[in-house]
Amino acid sequence: MTEKTNNNEIAKDPQRLAVLARIDEYERKGWFSKDVEDDPPTIPLEPEKTDYLCKKFSNKILRIVVYAIARHFIHKIIRNKQMIIKDVVGLENFVKLRKSGLIMTCNHFNAFDNFAVYHVIEKVLPHRKMYKVIREGNYTSFPGMYGLFFRHCDTLPLSSKFSTMKLFIKSMDILLRRGEKVLVYAEQGMWWNYRKPRPLTTGAFKFAVTSNVPVLPFFITMSDSDIIGGDGFPVQEYTVHILEPIYPDPKLSEKENIEMMRGKNYQMWKDVYEKTYGIPLEYLK
């Protein structure tokens, strides 16, 4: 972290520039859910390698230890201004649902954005537990500290294996029906520092409809701080918007509910985007 206001003093990271170029390309082509990062090769997640409900004693112990490390890490990056949370709007919308099973959606633009979501709700989060749906490779292929976070901080990894996905879907329903909070990135791939809302995939809303729980949309808006990070770009200041919940309609079919909830979520994000940035939402063509 380098606290300088002159962008020319630090060269911009070529890898970040390449990612930004891919984002522009994919936006023009309408590939909104496609990954833009150079992620490591994915090792398939076998069913015997999962413990979605954290039943194994060894995983219960690891969860306690790794959560303590993760909290320390979050506080450190906030203290060092590697992540800046400027404001939180609408926390009462989460508080009203704190005893309910819940799907939370959030725009995905940074590896730390789930830390921002967790940090702003932690004090009102029952048992301090927030589950996160993550990509297969993050669970199976990441080494070091981040690998520990991906495997032992209440994560729900997707899988390319049908047998593993059956366990994932069953576990998701159990968690939601017992009142857990699950963060799902309905945009799918992370688009670094991308401020626009992207069209949403259906998975998050299918989980909500199947388990009969609401969706609570989060949308994080950003502004440049006067701190230049080691990548040569301004560290972003986050405002975390927690919006009104979206409920399944018992009069609609499953398919109709999924489309209704997905459409409402996107429209709510779009409204926040346009109000915050003062411009209409338009994509590159």
Domains of the chain: which residue ranges? Answer: 9-38+47-277
Tokens 């294996």 — which residue?
Answer: 161
Q: What is the DSSP letter of 234?
A: E
**How much is the pTM?**
0.93
Kindly give the parts of the chain with pLDDT less than 50: 1-7
Task: Report the pLDDT value the prediction gives residue 128, as an integer from 0 to 100.
Answer: 85
Task: Report the pLDDT value the prediction gives residue 187, as an integer from 0 to 100.
Answer: 97
Token pair for 158: 């997707």
Task: Report the pLDDT value the prediction gives residue 2, as an integer from 0 to 100.
Answer: 45
H helix runs in 105-161, sequence order: 113-121, 136-141, 144-152
Task: Report the pLDDT value the prediction gives residue 9, as an integer from 0 to 100.
Answer: 67
Domain 9-38+47-277 has CATH 1.10.20: no
Q: For residues 167 and 206, what is the distance between their CA atoms, to the nearest angstrom? A: 16
Task: Report the pLDDT value the prediction gives residue 142, as an integer from 0 to 100.
Answer: 81
Task: Report the pLDDT value the prediction gives residue 164, as an integer from 0 to 100.
Answer: 97
Burial 186-216 (b: 16+ CB within 10 A, else e): bbbbbbbbbbbbbebbebbbbbbbbbebbbb
Task: Report the pLDDT value the prediction gives residue 6, as an integer from 0 to 100.
Answer: 47
Task: Report the pLDDT value the prediction gives residue 38, as an integer from 0 to 100.
Answer: 84
